[in-house]
């Protein structure tokens, strides 16, 4: 590809001369002599095999070949200029993040302030939805997805494995004299008993999942909502401890058993491979990976 490109200096001279319609004005803009401009144009004309300008006394005009070439060359230099300005200014503008509600409200919203303080020129917008965005069709810079991390064409960074365990309010636990065995959970209201995480956890805990059958269904759609219901004493919820660290620390929720299970999925930071070096994506990637590394150390 590089061997097919014309000399950059000659191309820059052509762009200025075409824009001004004058070798003299192009020379003034570029800090060159008129003879040097004329020489660089001749270099291009020899390379392309046809004249690009018609030379007249005190005037030059583009030939048909020059008219076809000039708009594309001007656009190319404008793109280079914009990219250079973006790189020099760093992360600026709007950063659009697609993520599920629980991750947004129970992890990201509690920490995003430190990112914005470090990058005051960058506004952040959340798009909270369980669907996978189409980066080619939607104005989204990056996403935080739950899954196995296998998405062709996307760069992926592991953030958090989806471990889960039952949690409930201390008051609800005390209502049956505390929880000593996993089967004690089945004496209480269960939030979303159809969730396969419940069956998996009870099975791995050595308890029968038969007690989940025939219960009132209560699908709430996200851990954020289920966690709120559990805090209010409405039942036992199957939750990811990393999303409820503050609630566990201040006693609004309790985790009665140490057993943590996983369905093999995780939360991932993802974005198109082609945008890896975009300043705002690079800035957010560095920040969030550092946050999770610090959490792991704690």
Q: Tens digit of pLDDT per residue, the chain (298 long)?
A: 445 778 889 999 999 999 898 999 999 989 999 999 999 999 999 988 999 999 887 788 999 999 999 888 888 877 776 566 555 544 568 899 999 889 999 999 989 999 999 988 888 999 888 788 888 788 889 999 999 988 988 999 999 999 999 999 999 999 999 999 999 999 999 999 989 999 999 999 999 888 888 776 767 678 999 999 999 999 999 999 999 999 999 999 999 999 999 999 999 999 998 888 888 899 999 999 999 988 776 6
Which CATH code of 3.40.190.290, 3.40.50.300, 3.40.1360.10, 1.10.357.10 fits the domain covering 95-298? 3.40.190.290
d(CA 180, CA 110): 33
Looking up tokens 């996983």 gives 262
d(CA 246, CA 227): 12
* Closest to 132 (Cα-Cα) out of 287, 268, 282: 268
Looking up tokens 């470090």 gives 118
Q: Where are the alpha helices (DSSP H) in 139-278?
A: 170-174, 196-204, 223-231, 245-249
Cβ neighbours for 224, distance < 8 A, ≥ 6 positions apart: 101, 102, 105, 106, 243
Please state whether 271 falls in left (phi above 0), alpha (psi between -120 and 50) or beta: beta
d(CA 66, CA 26): 16
**What residue ranges do the domains of the chain occupy?**
2-89, 95-298
CATH number for the domain formed by residue range(s) 2-89? 1.10.10.10
Q: Report in angstroms the alpha-carbon separations of 188 from 185, 214, 290.
A: 6, 14, 40
Cβ neighbours for 118, distance < 8 A, ≥ 6 positions apart: 283, 287
d(CA 81, CA 65): 25
């Amino acid at each position: 590809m590089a061997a097919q490109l014309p000399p950059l200096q000659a191309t820059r001279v052509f762009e200025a001369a075409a824009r001004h319609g004058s070798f003299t004005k192009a020379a003034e803009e570029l800090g060159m002599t008129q003879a040097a401009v004329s020489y660089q144009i001749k270099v291009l004309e020899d390379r392309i095999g046809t004249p690009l300008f018609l030379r007249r006394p005190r005037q030059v005009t583009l030939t048909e070949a020059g008219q076809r070439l000039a708009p594309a060359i001007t656009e190319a230099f404008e793109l280079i200029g914009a990219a250079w300005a973006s790189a020099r200014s760093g992360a600026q503008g709007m950063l659009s993040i697609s993520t599920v509600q629980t991750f947004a409200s129970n992890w990201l919203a509690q920490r995003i302030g430190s990112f914005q303080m470090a990058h005051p020129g960058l506004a952040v917008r959340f798009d909270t939805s369980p669907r996978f965005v189409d980066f080619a069709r939607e104005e989204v810079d990056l996403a935080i997805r739950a899954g196995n991390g296998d998405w062709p064409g996307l760069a992926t960074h592991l953030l958090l494995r989806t471990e889960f365990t039952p949690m409930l309010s201390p008051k609800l636990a005390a209502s049956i004299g505390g929880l000593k065995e996993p089967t004690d959970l089945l004496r209480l209201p269960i939030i979303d008993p159809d969730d396969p995480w419940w069956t998996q956890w009870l099975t791995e805990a050595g308890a029968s999942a038969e007690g989940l059958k025939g219960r009132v269904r209560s699908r709430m759609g996200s851990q954020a909502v289920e966690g709120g219901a559990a805090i209010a004493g409405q039942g036992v919820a199957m939750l990811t401890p990393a999303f409820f660290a503050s609630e566990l620390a201040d006693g609004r929720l309790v985790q009665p058993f140490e057993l943590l299970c996983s369905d093999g999925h995780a939360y991932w930071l993802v974005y198109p491979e082609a945008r890896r070096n975009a300043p705002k994506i690079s800035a957010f990637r560095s920040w969030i990976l550092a946050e999770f590394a610090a959490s792991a150390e704690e």
